[in-house]
Structure 1
C-alpha cells in the first residue's frame, strides 16, 4: 500500500516538473523568440551528428556557441540559466525513488515512506540536529546525555557496520532514549540506509497478526539494515510468543552483524526479572552491545 502511494507520489513529482519546464519554456520563448530558434538548431545538430552528416568537432563547437548564447539571452530576460532544462528535486535518483538501475531505494524515498507512515514511522523532528541541551536541570544529567548522544552519533556514522552492532539505551521515562533511537534511524535513512523503528508492543502485535493471518510481516525486522526496537518491556506477556520472538529477532540480528538499537524504561535488574538469562546475555553482551544508562529528571516535565 505504501509502496503504491510512493510510486504515485514520484509519478506526480515528475509530472509536475515536466509541466513546470513547459511553462518556463513558453515564457522564455515569448520573451526571447531567438531561444526557440536556438533550441531547434540544437535538436537538428544532434540529428545530423547521429546521421554523421556533421563532424563531432564541428557540432561540439556549435553546441558550445548555442549554450553560451542561450545563457546570455536568459540572463537578459531575468531567467536562470537552467530555465529550459527539466529540473529534478533529487539529483541522486532523478525523482525515480531508486538509485540508478538498481532496486536500492534512494534516501528521499526512505524519508518519504516514513512521512507517509506518520506517527508509526521514523520522524523528522527527533534528530541529532534538533537535539537541545537547554532543558537539562543539572550539569551531571546534561553531561551524561550529551555523552550518550555523541556515542549514538558515532554509531550512526559507521552504519551499516558499526564496531559493535547493537546499542541498549536504558533509564527512567523522559530521558531522551526514544529521541536518540529515532535520531540514529533518521540519520541512516538520510544516507540511504534502510531502517525500521517499532515499539516492542507493536512488534508483538505484528507477530500475532502473522500467526493469525499466515503472513510474514515481522520477518522484515530480522533483515532490515537497522532496527530500532523501542520501549522494550511494554509488550504483553504471551507464553511461547513474546519473549521467544523478541529473543529470536535480537539474536538473529546480532549473529548476522545487523545494527540494532533497543531502548527500555526498565532497569537492568527489572529486565533480568522479566526475561531469562539467555535473553539478558544476548541483550547486554558487551562484546556486541554498547550499553548506555541515562539518568536524571524527566525532561518532559522539566520543559
Structure 2
C-alpha cells in the first residue's frame, strides 16, 4: 500500500483517538464535580505511579516490597473508585476513553504489528480505490459458471471452449495464490462476451481481500488520467490517480484498443507498461482485438513489451452475454 493511503488512515486513527480521549476528559470533569473523592483517588494513583517509577530508576534495595505495598494500595483505591461510581449510577468504566477498537486503542497497531482493524481498513480503502467495488459482489470466482462454455470444439481450436476456460480459470487461481512470488503478467484476448473482464474481476476481488492494492481502468479512462495528470498540473486528484496507476500492486487495463489512438496515447501507454515492468508491478490487460490487430494498431515498442512479458490467454466460444439474455427471455415468458 502506498504511503499516502497509510498516512490517510493513520490520520483518521489519530482523530478517532483524540475524540475518544476528549470525550473521556469531559466525563471525568463531570464525575469530579459530582464525586470530589474520585478526583483525590486519581491524584493518589498518579502519585503512587511516580513513586514506583522513581524507585525502579534509583534501584531501591527495598524496591520489590515497596512495589507490592503500593500495588495493594492502588487496588484498594481502584475498588473504592468503582464502588463510588456505581453508587452514583455511573458505569465502572465511565471515565475511560471509549475507543472504537479496544485492542489497539485506535492506534492501528499492537506493538509493531498492524491491528486487525487497520488491516480491514486497508482492504476497505483498496476497494474504494479499485473502481470496481460494487461489481465484485457478483463477479468473483464463486459466481463463475462453466456451463456457458460448450464442451464441443469451436472454429478449429484444438480444445473445446469449456476445456479452454477451465485451463484459464486454473491459471487465474494460481496467479492469485502465487502473487507474491511470481513476476507473471496476464494478457486476455478474444471476442467480447467471453469472460475476460469477469475473470479479471475475480482476480481483483481475491487480491483486494488479501490487502493488495488493485486498480481497474478501461484503456480510454487510463489515457485520460495520463493526459490530465500531464497537462493539468493543478489537479491533485488526477495526480493521485496517476500515482495509483504506476504504484498499485496490480493494474487491470480493460478493453485495450477502445481508446483514441494517437502518438501521445501510444507513448504514454508504453511508458506506463515499461515502468511497471521495470519496477515489477503486475498487470492484467484484456482486449477484444486479435493478435494481428494488436500488431497493426500498436507500436513495436508496445507489442514487444506485451508479447515478451505477458502470459497470453485466448478466449473463444459463443457470446456468454447473448446466452444469458436468451435465458432471461425464456424465464420471463
Q: Give the structure-1-normalised TM-score.
A: 0.65
- The answer to whether 1:254 aligns with 2:277 is yes
Q: 1:137 to 1:197 in 2, by over 3 A?
A: closer
> 2: CA distance between counterparts of 1:100 and 1:232?
42
> 2: CA distance between counterparts of 1:60 and 1:166?
64
Farther off after superposition, 162-171 or 137-146? 137-146
Query: Which of residues 151, 155, 158 is equivalent to 2:171?
Result: 151
Q: How large is the Cα RMSD of the aligned pairs?
A: 5.2
Q: 1:251 to 1:113 in 2, by over 3 A?
A: closer
Matching of residues 278-297 of structure 1 within 5 Å: 278-285=301-308, 288-295=309-316, 296-297=318-319
Aligned residues between the structures: 283
> 1: CA distance between counterparts of 2:102 and 2:194?
36
1:181 alignment counterpart: 200
Query: C-alpha offsets along residues 92-146 of structure 1, whole Å, 9 cap, x if unaligned?
Result: 894659x9599xx95623523542x5xx714265278653244732354454334
> 2: CA distance between counterparts of 1:261 and 1:231?
11
- The answer to whether 1:191 aligns with 2:210 is yes
> 1: CA distance between counterparts of 2:194 and 2:97?
49
- The answer to whether 1:50 aligns with 2:56 is no
2:291 alignment counterpart: 268
> 2: CA distance between counterparts of 1:57 and 1:144?
72
Give the superposition deviation at 1:202: 0.9
Q: Give the structure-2-normalised TM-score.
A: 0.60
Matching of residues 1-303 of structure 1 within 5 Å: 10=13, 14=17, 46-47=49-50, 49-52=52-55, 55=64, 58=68, 88-89=100-101, 94=106, 96=108, 108-109=121-122, 111-112=124-125, 114-115=127-128, 121-123=131-133, 125-126=135-136, 131-134=142-145, 136-138=147-149, 140=151, 141-159=161-179, 161-214=180-233, 217=239, 218=242, 220-238=244-262, 240-285=263-308, 288-295=309-316, 296-299=318-321, 301=325
> 1: CA distance between counterparts of 2:232 and 2:274?
25
Is the contact made by 1:232 and 1:262 (CA closer than 8 Å) also made in structure 2? yes
The DSSP-based 3-state class of the residue aligned with 1:192 is coil
Ranges in structure 2 where 5+ consecutive residues have no aligned partner: 29-40, 57-62, 80-90, 152-160, 329-333
Query: C-alpha offsets along residues 11-42 of structure 1, whole Å, 9 cap, x if unaligned?
Result: 665578779999xx9xxxxxxxxxxxx99998
Farther off after superposition, 181-190 or 164-173? 181-190
Larger Rg computed on CA atoms: 2
2:154 alignment counterpart: none
Bigger fraction of residues in helix: 2
Query: C-alpha offsets along residues 67-96 of structure 1, whole Å, 9 cap, x if unaligned?
Result: xx9xxxxxxxxx9xxxx7855559689465
Task: Spell out structure 1 runs of 4+ moving beyond 4 A.
Answer: 2-22, 38-48, 59-63, 84-97, 99-102, 127-130
Q: 1:6 to 1:173 in 2, by over 3 A?
A: farther
> 1: CA distance between counterparts of 2:259 and 2:23?
50
The DSSP-based 3-state class of the residue aligned with 1:131 is helix
Q: 1:101 to 1:138 in 2, by over 3 A?
A: closer
Ranges in structure 1 where 5+ consecutive residues have no aligned partner: 26-37, 70-78
